[in-house]
Amino acid sequence: MKIHVINTGYFKLDGGAMFGVVPKSIWKKTNPPDDNNMCSWAMRCLLIEMKEQLILIDTGIGNKQSEKFFSYFHLHGKENLIQSINNAGFSCTDITDVIFTHLHFDHCGGAIINDNNNYKLLFPNAKHWTSKEHWETAINPNEREKASFLKENFIPIIEQGKLHFIKNNNFNSNIELKLFYGHTKAQIIPIIKYKNKTIVFCADLLPSTGHIPLPYVMGYDVNPLITLKEKELFLEDSIKNNYILFLEHDYTNECCTIKKEGGKFKLNKAGKLNDFIH
């Protein structure tokens, strides 16, 4: 089993939206904004190489939306999804499984390409996985989340017979999938056993090291009080079980570990994935 970090580029989101009720005077210390109050965020995915499976977790934002759409998010960076997969030694046709943590556009958009107004799967040989609960939310979105669910990002998957729903928590012998409900309904958080370590793909449960303190909950979350409770329990588990937390959106750090001091959760160590597993 091997694990590859897949960098798909960076985008910008409003700092206030990313930190909810936390004042700018506090969050800017860890995430300095530009003149428009925008902070840079990664869209970092994970590729898990196993004997009979090549599993990709999330796919980034993609490039098929309009110029106007992308103007809101200021995409930047030299890396992209296909290039990163190639750099890991694989092609898109090698991918056997794609696990979507959830179907917001910055997590699933890269899975579908627009070929002369014809939507095609970037990973034609892969099963694409989500939870049935979350799928129902995505195709019948509430007004709060509606702008995050772009149907061209996922309807072609079911139309082409490649959509699958997870049936239980055990995806395979090395990957457990847990559901969380604060950010969006039934977000999947993969927990990966790698040698004698445990790596958790945090998605939007913990977007960055800047979100470690409990009150630092994104304004995007549909149920922030549920996030607060889920996050507390998750961080307790992280300390108890020595989790390595893989950070999808942290601009600088791929991973971190957590400690608790004075009754508060704090950053213990942060860095590249290889710093933690080798």
What's the confidence (pLDDT) of residue 201?
98
What's the confidence (pLDDT) of residue 200?
98
Domain extent for 17: 2-277
Distance (Å, rounded) from C-alpha 103 to C-alpha 178? Answer: 16
Contact 95, 129 (CB under 8 A): no
* Residue 105 exposed, middle or buried by CB count within 10 Å (0-12, 13-18, 19+): buried
* pLDDT tens, per residue, the chain with 278 residues: 999 999 999 999 999 999 999 999 999 999 999 999 999 999 999 999 999 999 999 999 999 999 999 999 999 999 999 999 999 999 999 999 999 999 999 999 999 999 888 999 999 999 999 999 999 999 999 999 999 999 999 999 999 999 999 988 999 999 999 999 999 999 999 999 999 999 999 999 999 999 999 999 999 999 999 999 999 999 999 999 999 999 999 999 999 999 999 999 999 999 999 999 98
Number of domains in the chain: 1
CATH code of the domain in which 211 resides: 3.60.15.10
What's the confidence (pLDDT) of residue 168?
85
pLDDT in tens, 136-170: 999 999 999 999 999 999 999 999 999 999 988 99
What's the confidence (pLDDT) of residue 115?
87
Q: Which pairing describes strands 175-180 and 119-121: parallel, antiparallel, or unpaired?
A: unpaired
pTM score: 0.97
What's the confidence (pLDDT) of residue 63?
92
